[in-house]
Amino acid sequence: MLRSRCALAALAIVFTTATVKADSVDPYIRIGDPNAGTPVGLIFSFSSDANGGGVFNFVNATGQNITDIDFFVTLPGTDVITCVPADFFSTCSYTSTPRANGKALYDIGAETGGEGIGIPLGVSFSINLNNPINGEPNPDPMGAGGWGPNNLIEVGVNGSDPFTPEPATWGLLLAGAIGATIARTRRRCK
């Protein structure tokens, strides 16, 4: 009787441990070729869906071919990202920079590597954040992924940095500073 109870308890502990140990799925990104999408420029952003995945369709409206594209996202610092360049790019890799609270800023980059033209001007492309099913891309627009629910992903194209103001923004800041200096000078002269 005691052996039965011990065996049952050991089985329960093993089963519970196996259930608790189940690893979360690491983020997966695939760049593909859809039929239509939202026009985007050199800098844009989007968010993962409520399930941490999603499929997002865009159109290259940058005025040039997209030969490299960088995605910036904050995720747990231990995540390993699977990046599939698919139809347009030859390479895809990532780096991470540690942030507070065990998080890291990931820079996921895909590029042509000098081979091909990337995403031609006016051509649609998709970003699939869903976890694959049986090794195949999951096309469900509301699919599940490892990106965290509603997580912001900022994108820079052909070397554009989404964290650096564009030249027009710098011009506005400079004009404001010059205007403030002139106004201050006029007050002193009165």
Question: Which pLDDT does position 106 carry in this prediction?
Answer: 95
**Is it the case that residue 38 has pLDDT exceeding 60?**
yes
Instruction: Please state whether 63 falls in left (phi above 0), alpha (psi between -120 and 50) or beta.
Output: left
Give the residue extent of every domain in the chain: 25-169
Residue 70 has pLDDT above 90, yes or no: yes
* Ordered alpha helix ranges (H), the chain: 2-21, 167-189
The owner of tokens 């991470």 is: 96
66 pLDDT above the threshold of 50:
yes
- pTM for the complete prediction? 0.72
Helix (H, G, I), strand (E, B) or coil at 183: helix
pLDDT score at 170: 55
Report how far residue 66's alpha carbon sits from residue 159's, in angstroms, rounded to the nearest whole number: 10
Phi, psi angle pair for 29, to nearest 5°: -135, 135
